[in-house]
Amino acid sequence: DTGVSQDPRHKITKRGQNVTFRCDPISEHNRLYWYRQTLGQGPEFLTYFQNEAQLEKSRLLSDRFSAERPKGSFSTLEIQRTEQGDSAMYLCATALGGVSGNTIYFGEGSWLTVV
Amino acid sequence: AQSVAQPEDQVNVAEGNPLTVKCTYSVSGNPYLFWYVQYPNRGLQFLLKYITGDNLVKGSYGFEAEFNKSQTSFHLKKPSALVSDSALYFCAVREEGNTPLVFGKGTRLSVIA
């Protein structure tokens, strides 16, 4: 499968614990996005990378959230000291940069449940 | 800042009938418009996009969408609905300059046999 790959698909954690999600992009896609989706809502933008550079962060991305893309390939999204309000699906998406009309392709998402 | 409105939370249609899922947008410049579909517990699948050119865009699974600049709309259509089209549909917009996609809240389509 050459699509966007996310791991794990499901994570249940206790409040206060740290969690990390991984995203492997489509090969050669230099733009990588993280979105969050809660039930009944559309995806909300969190942050994006051009290669290894983090170019934009949403105000939704609190200090407990950190994203990295160390070599411009895979990316990780870490949530520290999880809260119940963090329960959501975290979506990774990638695209070829440079042209505004390029399609953004999404992974299957990582479901987080904080208990 | 760009925004998208999907005025209907739910659309019900009989199998074989035409379907329309509505979307209006707001951007400061030229819009880049997208439709995605989401099946339960899955990610978003790309259906079609409007970048420039012909206002009628054809996409996957027989879907099409019509860009209307004067009405700032980009409605999704299909001539004959299938039960398997039942899913959650999202309209999204971005402005020039590789800004992130901004999504609507989604419309749940239910096709009844």
Q: What is the pLDDT of residues B20-38, one digit of tens each?
A: 999 999 998 889 999 999 9
pLDDT at A7 over 70: yes
With contacts defined as CB-CB under 8 Å, which chain B residues touch A111? 41
Q: What is the DSSP string of A48-111?
A: EEETTEEEEE-TTS-TTEEEE-TTSS-EEEEE-S--GGG-EEEEEEEE-SS-TTPPPEE---EE
Question: Does A60 contact chain B (CB < 8 Å)?
Answer: no
B95 reaches A (C-beta below 8 A): yes
Highest mean pLDDT among A52-66, B8-22, B33-47: B8-22
Region A31-46: mean pLDDT is 94
Give the model's pLDDT for residue A97. Answer: 78
Nearest CA in chain B to A96: B98
% residues pLDDT > 70 (chain B) = 99
Alpha-carbon distance A39 to nearest alpha carbon in chain B (angstroms): 10
Neighboring chain B residues of A107 at a CB cutoff of 8 Å = 43
Determine the Cα–Cα distance for residues A27 and A50; give it in Å rounded to an integer: 14
Note the pLDDT tens digit of each residue in A10-31: 999 999 999 999 999 999 899 9
Q: How far apart are CA B22 and CA B2, in angstroms?
A: 17
A5-44 residues touching B, CB cutoff 8 A? 6, 31, 33, 40-44
